[in-house]
Structure 1
Amino acid sequence: MRRSAEMQGAGSSAVRLLLLSCCVCAAAGYPFRTPLDLDVTPRVTVLSSGLQGCRRFQSSAANYSTMLLEADSERLYFGARGAVIALNASDISASSALTIEWEASPEQKRQCLLKGKDNKTECFNHIRFLQRFNSTHLYMCGTNAFRPLCAYIDEERFVMSSQPEEGRDKCPYGPTTGYTALIIDQQMYTASQYEFRSFPDIRRNSPSPTLKTEDAPTRWLNEADFVGSALVRESVSSSTGDDDKIYYFFTEKSQEQTTTYSHSRVARVARVCKGDRGGRLTLQKRWTSFLKARLTCSLPEYDFHFNMLRSVFVMPGRTPQDTLFYGIFGLEWKNVKASAVCRFSLTEVQEAFQGPYMENQDSGSKWKEYTGKIPDPRPGSCITDSLRARDINISTSLPDDVLNFVRRHPLMSQQVQPTDKRPLLFRRTTDYTHMAVHTIQGLDGLTYHILYMGTDEGWLHKAVEIEGQLHIIEEFQIFEEPQPVNNLLLSEKQMSVYVGSPSGVVQLPLSNCQRYTSCYDCIFARDPHCAWNGAHCVDVMAQTNRSTLIQDIQQGSRGCENTQEDVMVRSRSVRVGDDVLLQCELSSNLATPVWTLDGSELQGYGLHSGFRTGTDGLLIIEARQDQSGLYTCYAVENKIKREPSHPTRPLSSPTQICSPPRNMEAMYLSLITILGGLCVVLTVVLVYVGFCLRVGNRGKYSLRAAASAYPNNKRQNRNRKQHRNSAHMELKTISSHCNGNGICNGGSKQHNGEIQDGGFLQIVPGEAHLTPNKEPPPPAPPLPPTPQHSSPECVFPNGLSATLPSVLRRMNGNNYVLLRQSESENTSPLCYSFAEELNRMLEKRKHTQLTPRPDESSV
């Protein structure tokens, strides 16, 4: 029996080693290794059940993708499938919603089906455009089951004020076609692939003059997929008499010829002048100011190039020149989830449009930089004071050689680089879909940009930009059922963020400072909205007197040195040989647990150390007498080690990690080969170990609850019998509160020297000494019933006791399957420990034939 138990222990150790090796190889073989300072982890995770101040709206409509916020009237408009809805912006869950039903006719749906379209997604009227037209009316356009229509809305009565009009030049045919549109001075500027077989186009629609992009002899747009557009009024305070410009953002098929790397699709920014009227003969009814340049969002040193532009947000500045463009980028590989956020300045974009041009001598070759003579005035420029001085007051007065050059050279050679030449953020395993940004001034006098980013699975990330990097403050699970975020809007007046999705609309507060219940949690969050007032974490915007508030956005560590936290105490008795988990569930994903035993930090958590550490706490394996003591869990975050009732002190800097190899493909192939070989070896070893365990089926392994005081004489007798076979010790546990403090506190406190139960754990030695038994031991009790007749509360067919743990958790980084102990003390006296059962078997071995049972201890 001893040999089979040893074989089982050795087999378990071998399995743990192989599992650890496979997990390490799998992690290394993941097709991304990124700079640690960019692959940011959200500090706090909030599930949908924990959302505070959340309001929701749902109706019979679906696909809430188009949003319009009117701050003055406190109206929030949503365009959905077959309906336009007006909500109260202060509370979208209120019953005052107004609806305009606008469904496609049955005949049009039938025609849509005849075109081979999907009658579950495409053959409906999806509202793709909804904006203000003038002071009294809104304007909307819908796909109308692949026959677009547009109509005006009387805002006051919220009804259609006219019959729908033709919309095929203003709205795409399908619900998912890339599309962007603006109404500027009652003129509509759109960009999309309008008809099924048409080329993508940027247009200015009625009233005249209507303009569009050129498609011959040089096609200006190459399978473009538009994601956004913006008006920048560069004429305001312009010293040159410049014109306003409309910027378009899209992804298209690549045209460049480069020697470094090549991609089939690239991100672009294009611009046209608002006052453009086209050419007189050359480029008649075509843009004379259309130019485009490449947007780069990459890490060349790591061979990461994010070419797919998913969304863009335009952040106006104090002057037009201070305008910023935030973009969400993805990888070209469709089966890999990853996102990057890059920020561009208007100055960088303007410099690209003032740089050299690209040309294509032969339609079958790639584009390369143009080195010839450039006509005067500069092709693609807007009308300025210098041109007006030469009697060129309108684009129709431009010379033909300038217009011919524009026709053949729409692409610029200089690429637009992001701020600091690198992304603000990179997230693997996350696909961001939309974002919104607003600014706020911190208590330090600096202006901070706060980003709200929605994902394809219904999560919302709140981040703050600090010195060119993003710190993700929180992540919220907006929807229990995974679904993409279709749109985002911010309202500083309502202090709300609005999220549109296929199933409904959600309203959340811009901040939720009361979530942080301690000074350190409030400071560690680094949220510009929040500050500590000495007793609570409060919203800065709601405070008139800010002189006493504490906030540290830059470092997230200063201001709480003199604060103290209560120490929570809890005790537990554990038998020698049992496994026990000391819980230390940290509220912050960025905090690291550090454990001490009697004031000395635990060093090493190897296979033979007797300890395992993870995100849930410290696991003591087969507890020994010499492991008794006072266990303390500290939370380390932002280089601060938080000690209960003591000032904080900084820790040393983390160890740096080497950069990945440059030859990524060779590394992937090698790692895949190694991983495959390890899996084959693991399979063989598991089969062998399983065979050995079945042969030695009398060696059992079970986890039992802590040995508290038993309430009846039967349990006391069991304790006396067990005392003859193994030593005893008592584990008391103490830690700090976890909920919102970054350090694990439990639900009990020490008052007047008394310990109240509840909370998380730490250990103090030995008060559970048993009274020696002076009476002769009672005779051995009868054998327990066979498995077929055992009580379900006692022994299961697999030999495990009824006090088996109820929760399976994987310890972080140790690949150890942890069975959490049940704290129930209502265990039947017929349930015996393994040691007791072994002793009884030895006493009865001459009189009883043991019945083997299947061994399932390697769960």
Structure 2
Amino acid sequence: MAGSTPDPRSAFQEGPGEPVPSSGSAGPPQPGGHPRRGPGKMLGGTVRVLTALLVAAVMGYPSRRSATDLDATPRTTVTFDELSGVRRFSGHSLNYTTLLLEDERGILYVGARGAIFALNASNVADGSHRTIHWEASPEKRLDCLQKGRNNKTECFNHVRFLQRLNSTHLYTCGTYAFHPLCAAIDADRFTLPARLEEGKEKCPYDPSRGYTGLIVDGGLYTATRYEFRSLPDIRRNLHQRPLKMEESPLHWLNDADFVASVLVRESKDSPVGDDDKIYYFFTERAGEETTSFFDKSQVARVARVARVCKSDVGGKKILQRKWTSFMKARLVCYIPYYEVLRSVCSLDGGSWASTVFYAAFTLSAQWRTMEASAVCRYNISEVQRAFEGPYMEYQDSSRKWSRYDGAVPEPRPGSCITDGSRRRGFNSSQDLPNSVLDFVKLHPLMFEEVQPAGGEPLLVKRSVAYSCLAVDRVRALDGRSYDVLFMGTGDGWLHKAVVLDSGVHIIEEVQVFGEPQPVETLVVSHKQRSLYVGAASGVLQVPLASCARYSSCYDCILARDPYCAWDGRACRDTASRDSTGLVQDVQGGNAGCWSGSGRSFLPWKNRTVLRGDDVLLPCDQRSNLARAVWLLNGSEVPGAGQERLRVGVDGLLVTDTLPEHGGEYRCYGEERGLRTLLAAYSLSVLPELPRAAAAATAGPHTASQVAGDAKVVYVSTIVVLVVLCAVLGIVLLYVSCLEKRKGKYVLGEPRPANAELQTVSASCLRKGREKEEEEDEEELAYPDGCLRIIPGEAPTAATSPVKELPAVVPPPPLPPPPLPLPAELTNGVGALPSVLRKMNGNSYMLLQQDEPLASPLCSASFTEELSKILEKRKHTQLVEKLDESSV
């Protein structure tokens, strides 16, 4: 995608909504997918998603909207070359994926491979950063290599954990070449301590393993596969009661790949004295019945949410130092097997009861022929409902999990200690009866699934693989709060979307990296009004709002960006000034501009073409959601059904023009009922060549004949130039062997074919005459001048220096007569060039003397003496060596 990425909208369409790709290479796939894909691929992808929705309905997963309704198109596309206001930081490391933002302190901490950085949050690129170098030791790297690990990716210290431990220290962990280590860093001094801690219980050994961690009230809660032969686990460290998961007789986790963890302070203002909980999100192998609808031979992977209680201290005799509150439930997005969970983020509206989770999914392995992503929203109430429902039980006979309908002991297994539990004498998990703890060991999985809000996905995006999510809640001018989603893709793009009553509106898609690479981490800063993007190559600071991109009131309103509003003259960030007089319509996207404010008064552009020629009238549509509307002399040009008029996203193409095609053309962008003038043209169609052009020709010629004659002239000129070069070569060869005066002119002693030629400086004439006066007795003098070698490309006929050619060389032919063409036709297609352009041929050299040659060129004395002179002057040579092509 780097460099000159073709415009993803450059294709003509036969009708609205049916893009036809242009010929040639389509370029790399874009995250939106909609502009570049032909109708077949688009239809195939839509059919697959529709099939998935149909299967979802059959399996009991209803959806009120079709896949095409859920597949939102980004309104605008911003390529890498169009980016503005983005700051970048990159040191000598890789994998800048662990980010910790301390907004009030104005510091962004970054954990990378072999280094930890402290950046200025207001400007990550100002150069004021501090660095801790934390490379793996050579001994550990050698040990890692001897174990068969990859010395280019794995045998390094990848910083995987970085969070605030207390008011004075940060806590960090790294893989350290498959020997994990952790350390407490003094935040003020920003240096590593002299002694590091063992990290096998806190950090994964493998940098590619899924991992998540939180520090809650001094305790370290992590989830990953900690050792090569160990099972995935959720553990608590840095706590007086370390805990981990039970492994027998049932594994609570089945090849789990962890994605995220979230703390929910459910004890705050709790009427029942509930406990705080940590929620874990991951993907694991499914064990339920009917695990795979499409491919029975494959084990399906499903998304899960699990929880533990912060005050859990394990059991007294059973589940000692093990979790007694662990429960997990399936997380569904209501399209079968969008079950590979990629990212999770959360928001609360000021209280834990309003907490919502946003999750991004991609297709599982069963859908190899299609790439798509889904985004779902979950309320905390739905998660709680699943954990308060029926349990599942593992059946040894079928080796599957199925619903458990037996008796459930009291207090409820897996629940936290509440005021009701305390009144019954259960003040901690160690007071729970053995029956409850035995039940917890065998029933970690819940029967109820966690359903998304509204019963369907917020977004289903074709041809995109979302890799991470971040969310921000913005209060708009209408008094409502809107959730703004930032979604990073696997190929270096960023989608910005707003959640509306009608669904998700993608405001823009931005190419934040020139080289395709996954967006790994996203962090929102309210104070800096920035989004921090972490990836393999560096850290980016992207403004939350880019309101300056919207040049008119209609453009600003149609963007439906909660960060932006129109102030009467420009589109402004709503946080930059008082909201008085600002106009915004996030929900509708088409109200607020006064009459005429959407019209732009553009200068007319004149176009003149000959009858029968083609003409393209460009009309740049910045919005992918807008429809081009063309008016010819006040009447709308239909987009389809016209043989000679083709309306495309690039403009209007008129083929085989007729006189009646002349007139005034206006191009409007129509979106949500609003029209904005984008271009205006005055087209003139000439029935024949103008008189001036006709007089210049020998007779009446048609346009095709003129073009043919021009080609003949060009070819003739090229042939003449080739012949001239051949004649020059012959003449120079003849002159070099012709004896006119004493001595020889040679370029040097005979050398192999690959030897470089030495040249005599232009000042040798003066020095040669001084030499003649001083050494009268010798017969070496060249008062008639010196040989000069002038390298360079062959000049064109219009610029060749005729006066510098030797006298024996015939003068070049006269330049070709002007082409019998009229003035340049402004038809947008491009007329033939009026002069012969410079050709990329082989370079040649011009041999030139200041005075005519008269001495013979076959004397050996001159050769010897010239060699002596060159030997004396080789250290003061002023002329650079000629390149091989010039010689």
**What TM-score bracket applies, with the shorter chain setting the length?**
0.7 to 0.9
Q: Kindly provide the amino acid, as one letter, of the partner of residue 271 in structure 1.
A: R
**Residue 457 of structure 1 corresponds to which residue in structure 2?**
491
How is 1:588-607 mapped onto 2 (pairs within 5 angstroms)? 588-603=623-638, 605-606=640-641
Give the direction of change, closer, same or farther, for the CA distance of 1:529–1:782 in structure 2 (3 Å limit): closer
**Residue 174 of structure 2 corresponds to which residue in structure 1?**
142
| 2:609 paired residue among 561, 570, 574 | 574
**Residue 480 of structure 2 corresponds to which residue in structure 1?**
446
**Secondary structure at 2:374 match in 1:** strand
TM-superposed CA distance for 1:285, in Å, is 1.3
TM-superposed CA distance for 1:45, in Å, is 1.2
Q: Kindly provide the amino acid, as one letter, of the partner of residue 225 in structure 2.
A: Q
Q: Is the 8 A contact 2:659 2:686 kept in 1?
A: no
- Whose relative contact order is higher, 1 or 2, with alpha carbons under 8 Å and at least 6 apart? 1
Q: Deviations over 1:583-630 (max 9, x none)?
A: 111011111102222222223535x71122211011111112232222
Q: Kindly provide the amino acid, as one letter, of the partner of residue 139 in structure 2.
A: E
How is 1:99-498 mapped onto 2 (pairs within 5 angstroms)? 99-258=131-290, 261=293, 264-299=300-335, 304-333=336-365, 336-362=370-396, 365-467=399-501, 469-498=503-532
How is 1:57-68 mapped onto 2 (pairs within 5 angstroms)? 57-68=89-100
Distance 2:710 2:270 in 1: 99
Q: Is the 8 A contact 1:279 1:395 kept in 2?
A: yes
Consecutive aligned runs of 4 or more in structure 1 exceeding 6 Å deviation: 16-20, 705-712, 723-726, 780-783, 791-794
Q: Kindly provide the amino acid, as one letter, of the partner of residue 170 in structure 1.
A: K
**Secondary structure at 1:64 match in 2:** coil
How is 1:437-836 mapped onto 2 (pairs within 5 angstroms)? 437-467=471-501, 469-544=503-578, 546-562=579-595, 563=597, 564-603=599-638, 605-606=640-641, 609-642=643-676, 716-718=695-697, 721-722=700-701, 784=712, 787=715, 821-822=829-830, 826=834
Distance 1:788 1:423 in 2: 68
Q: Is the 8 A contact 1:590 1:637 kept in 2?
A: yes
Q: Is the 8 A contact 1:356 1:414 kept in 2?
A: yes
TM-superposed CA distance for 1:388, in Å, is 0.3
Q: Is the 8 A contact 1:233 1:244 kept in 2?
A: yes
Structure 1: tracts of 5 or more residues without a match: 1-15, 647-704, 727-777, 795-800, 804-818, 830-859
Q: Kindly provide the amino acid, as one letter, of the partner of residue 518 in structure 1.
A: S
TM-superposed CA distance for 1:782, in Å, is 11
Give the direction of change, closer, same or farther, for the CA distance of 1:172–1:363 in structure 2 (3 Å limit): farther
Q: Is the 8 A contact 1:592 1:636 kept in 2?
A: yes
Q: Is the 8 A contact 1:131 1:139 kept in 2?
A: yes
**Secondary structure at 1:541 match in 2:** coil
Distance 1:227 1:596 in 2: 53
Q: Kindly provide the amino acid, as one letter, of the partner of residue 48 in structure 2.
A: F
Q: Deviations over 1:290-331 (max 9, x none)?
A: 0000110123xxxx5310000100212211111111111110
Distance 2:639 2:537 in 1: 49
Q: Kindly provide the amino acid, as one letter, of the partner of residue 165 in structure 1.
A: E
TM-superposed CA distance for 1:336, in Å, is 3.5
Q: Deviations over 1:49-86 (max 9, x none)?
A: 22221111111011101000111211110000000001
Q: Is the 8 A contact 2:75 2:623 kept in 1?
A: yes
Q: Kindly provide the amino acid, as one letter, of the partner of residue 265 in structure 1.
A: R
TM-superposed CA distance for 1:499, in Å, is 0.6
**Residue 750 of structure 2 corresponds to which residue in structure 1?**
none
Q: Is the 8 A contact 1:280 1:396 kept in 2?
A: yes
Q: Kindly provide the amino acid, as one letter, of the partner of residue 573 in structure 1.
A: T
Distance 1:104 1:428 in 2: 41
Give the direction of change, closer, same or farther, for the CA distance of 1:368–1:162 in structure 2 (3 Å limit): same
Q: Kindly provide the amino acid, as one letter, of the partner of residue 350 in structure 2.
A: R
**Secondary structure at 1:32 match in 2:** helix
Q: Kindly provide the amino acid, as one letter, of the partner of residue 586 in structure 2.
A: I
Distance 1:102 1:45 in 2: 39
Distance 1:527 1:153 in 2: 40
**Residue 811 of structure 1 corresponds to which residue in structure 2?**
none
Structure 2: tracts of 5 or more residues without a match: 1-19, 25-36, 51-66, 722-795, 798-818, 822-826, 838-887
**Secondary structure at 2:417 match in 1:** coil
**Residue 31 of structure 2 corresponds to which residue in structure 1?**
none
Give the direction of change, closer, same or farther, for the CA distance of 1:200–1:706 in structure 2 (3 Å limit): farther
TM-superposed CA distance for 1:255, in Å, is 1.1
**Secondary structure at 2:628 match in 1:** strand
Q: Kindly provide the amino acid, as one letter, of the partner of residue 558 in structure 1.
A: A
Distance 2:709 2:174 in 1: 82
Q: Is the 8 A contact 1:228 1:249 kept in 2?
A: yes
Distance 2:235 2:710 in 1: 92
Distance 2:689 2:283 in 1: 71
Distance 2:175 2:158 in 1: 5
Give the direction of change, closer, same or farther, for the CA distance of 1:496–1:823 in structure 2 (3 Å limit): farther
**Secondary structure at 2:360 match in 1:** strand
Q: Kindly provide the amino acid, as one letter, of the partner of residue 588 in structure 1.
A: S
Q: Kindly provide the amino acid, as one letter, of the partner of residue 254 in structure 1.
A: A
Task: Return 508-517 or 361-370, whichever deviates more.
Answer: 361-370
TM-superposed CA distance for 1:152, in Å, is 1.0
Give the direction of change, closer, same or farther, for the CA distance of 1:405–1:715 in structure 2 (3 Å limit): farther
Distance 1:375 1:410 in 2: 14
Give the direction of change, closer, same or farther, for the CA distance of 1:156–1:277 in structure 2 (3 Å limit): same
Give the direction of change, closer, same or farther, for the CA distance of 1:201–1:364 in structure 2 (3 Å limit): farther
TM-superposed CA distance for 1:720, in Å, is 7.8
Q: TM-score, normalised by structure 1?
A: 0.74
**Residue 771 of structure 2 corresponds to which residue in structure 1?**
none
Distance 2:820 2:175 in 1: 62
Q: Is the 8 A contact 1:710 1:716 kept in 2?
A: no
Q: Kindly provide the amino acid, as one letter, of the partner of residue 76 in structure 2.
A: V
Distance 1:196 1:619 in 2: 63
> RMSD value over aligned CA atoms?
3.2
Q: Kindly provide the amino acid, as one letter, of the partner of residue 176 in structure 1.
A: S
Q: Kindly provide the amino acid, as one letter, of the partner of residue 631 in structure 2.
A: T
Q: Kindly provide the amino acid, as one letter, of the partner of residue 330 in structure 2.
A: R
Give the direction of change, closer, same or farther, for the CA distance of 1:377–1:570 in structure 2 (3 Å limit): same
Distance 2:111 2:685 in 1: 59
**Secondary structure at 2:341 match in 1:** strand
Q: Is the 8 A contact 2:566 2:584 kept in 1?
A: yes
TM-superposed CA distance for 1:37, in Å, is 2.0
Distance 1:165 1:75 in 2: 25
Q: Is the 8 A contact 1:566 1:644 kept in 2?
A: no
Q: Is the 8 A contact 1:189 1:205 kept in 2?
A: yes
Distance 1:530 1:19 in 2: 38
Q: TM-score, normalised by structure 2?
A: 0.72
Distance 2:229 2:279 in 1: 25
Q: Deviations over 1:115-162 (max 9, x none)?
A: 111000000000000001000000100000001000111100100134
TM-superposed CA distance for 1:242, in Å, is 0.3
